[in-house]
Amino acid sequence: MKRWGLLGTFVLVLSVVLWNSWLVSQEQEVTLRYKFPTKETRTYSIRLTGEMAVTVQILGQEAPAMISLQGTMTQTERVEDADKEGVATIVATTKGRMKTEVTGLPIGAESPQRAGSPRSHRSSQS
């Protein structure tokens, strides 16, 4: 019995010490800094989706519309220069494809027309 009592006390004391160590480590503030190596390159693949409600002005009248977009982009960031503290000048290049759809704009007979203006307009380039 005495042996289990001593072992139990040891486990209890060890648990309290570990718990207090963990609590103290959680309360300390740590500052992390990344020092950018010169010429380092990182590439990210980004997928975008979104919707936005807008109000547009058409021939002096406001019209609500909805813009939705979907697309993918690749962004490459290259460290052009970095000082001894690791503060970097980064050149970012973005390439991608974006599909944008605008809905809700008045088209046809409901759209406001100026006197003498055609209802539709087509242009072609040669």
pLDDT at 6: 66
What would the pLDDT profile of 48-98 be if each residue is shown by its tens digit?
999 999 888 888 888 898 999 999 999 999 999 988 877 889 999 999 999
Whether residue 58 contacts residue 106, with contact meaning beta carbons closer than 8 Å, is answered with yes
* 16 vs 109, more confident: 16
Mean pLDDT computed over 86-113: 79
Note the pTM of the prediction, 2 decimals: 0.45
Confidence band of 26 (pLDDT split at 50, 70, 90)? low
In the chain, which residue ranges form alpha helices assigned H by DSSP? 2-27
